[in-house]
Amino acid sequence: MLKVRQALLTAVQRLGDRVDAEVLLAYALSKSRSWLIAHADDLLSAEHASAYTVLVEQREAGEPVAYITGRRGFWSLDLEVTPDTLIPRPETELLVEEALERIPISKTVNVADLGTGTGAIALAIARDRPLAQVIATDASADALAVARRNASRHDILNVSFVQGDWFAPLGDQRFDVIVSNPPYIENHDPHLNQGDLRFEPMSALASGEDGLDDIRRIIRDAGRHLLPEGWLLFEHGWNQGEAVRMLLCNASFAKVSTMRDLEQRERMTMGCWSVSKDCGSS
Ligand code: GLN
């Protein structure tokens, strides 16, 4: 019989990643990662040991940990994740932070999240701004089912979900804040054939020759769905900042600015649907 410590050591050697090895063992045992440390000398049952081996093999074959466990933490939420949804990334929390700065805590504000996937961004905003009314769209019915389950698991009631492409299911509604983490990778980017991206829905990742097809559509239609002084905020690739600032300025957005992520890469850009259409960009 193997001890927890030995099983972990073997998995770390196979996977080359201690966190992955711990997350998968914790999942196999239905325990927390801190439990593993406190019980390093416990013996694993044969069933647990063989269940763990299967998980380690799945990971060795490249499957993302979040799809194996079906969970991923984002903001303050533990979210269900399936292969129908993009896996929420920590850098997308920057988009949530910037959106929250533009949503007063004591006012009812209408927010739209386009292409919500797991619901990560919509649910983080709805949780932290209980007075906000959030509508989240997604073209995929399967993704929306996951997002709805995430909302009900966390008892978040001020969010609703509608199916359709970008603004299509929103009729002529207007919003104070529109957020999106759209697909933005170039169709031929070799990264699409590497790592976790191989397992994620292509429709949530790639967007035309220059990766900007969906961002162009969102910017084109956003003006028809923003209230005066409303904000559009979206994530993009590290090398797309200049192009998206230009797109926003050309579409008459004001106060256009880009934020960098913790690795100092341009990660998200926002603009204000201003009545006085001066484009001060930075
Ligand atoms: N941030 C993801 C990546 O580059 C892509 C997500 C997206 O296209 N929205 O791995």
CATH class of 71-273: alpha beta
Q: Looking at residue 78, what is its pLDDT?
A: 96
Q: Is the CB of 183 under 6 A from ligand 1?
A: yes
pLDDT at residue 32 greater than cutoff 70: yes
d(CA 214, CA 231): 18
Confidence bin at 1 (pLDDT 50/70/90): confident
Angle at 261 between CA 119 and CA 164, to 5 degrees: 25
pLDDT at residue 10 greater than cutoff 80: yes
Q: Which atom of ligand 1 is nearest to the CA of 196?
A: 10
The annotation status of 273 as a binding-site residue, yes or no, is no
CA dihedral (187, 189, 191, 194) positive or negative? positive
Confidence bin at 280 (pLDDT 50/70/90): low
CA dihedral (270, 274, 277, 282) positive or negative? negative
The annotation status of 181 as a binding-site residue, yes or no, is yes
Distance from the CA of 224 to the center of ligand 1, in angstroms? 26
- What is the tens place of the pLDDT at every residue in 83-140? 999 999 999 999 999 999 999 999 999 999 999 999 999 999 999 999 999 999 999 9
Q: Is the CB of 247 under 6 A from ligand 1?
A: no
d(CA 64, CA 20): 9
Angle at 202 between CA 201 and CA 205, to 5 degrees: 100
The annotation status of 16 as a binding-site residue, yes or no, is no
- What is the tens place of the pLDDT at every residue in 187-237? 999 999 999 999 999 999 999 999 999 999 999 999 999 999 999 999 999
Angle at 282 between CA 177 and CA 219, to 5 degrees: 40
Q: Looking at residue 70, what is its pLDDT?
A: 97
pLDDT at residue 282 greater than cutoff 60: no
Give the mean pLDDT of the chain: 96
Distance from the CA of 20 to the center of ligand 1, in angstroms? 20
Domain boundaries, the chain: 4-61, 71-273
Q: Looking at residue 274, what is its pLDDT?
A: 87
Distance from the CA of 92 to the center of ligand 1, in angstroms? 9
Q: Which atom of ligand 1 is nearest to the CA of 89?
A: 1
Q: Looking at residue 95, what is its pLDDT?
A: 98
Q: Looking at residue 184, what is its pLDDT?
A: 98
Q: Choose which residue among 72, 181, 185 to substitute to test ligand 1 binding: the one with the highest number of ligand atoms within 8 A of its C-beta.
A: 185
E-assigned strand segments in 70-145: 71-74, 77-80, 110-114, 133-138
CA 225 to chain centroid: 22
Collapsed DSSP state (helix, strand, coil) of residue 80: strand
The annotation status of 239 as a binding-site residue, yes or no, is no
The annotation status of 269 as a binding-site residue, yes or no, is no
- What is the tens place of the pLDDT at every residue in 225-273? 999 999 999 999 999 999 999 999 999 999 999 999 999 999 999 999 9
E-assigned strand segments in 93-199: 110-114, 133-138, 159-163, 175-180
Q: Looking at residue 206, what is its pLDDT?
A: 97
Q: Is the CB of 192 under 6 A from ligand 1?
A: no
Q: Choose which residue among 87, 179, 184 to substitute to test ligand 1 binding: the one with the highest number of ligand atoms within 8 A of its C-beta.
A: 184
d(CA 28, CA 100): 36
d(CA 131, CA 106): 7
- What is the tens place of the pLDDT at every residue in 151-191? 999 999 999 999 999 999 999 999 999 999 999 999 999 99
Q: CA 71, 76, 77, 81: dihedral to nearest 10 degrees?
A: -40
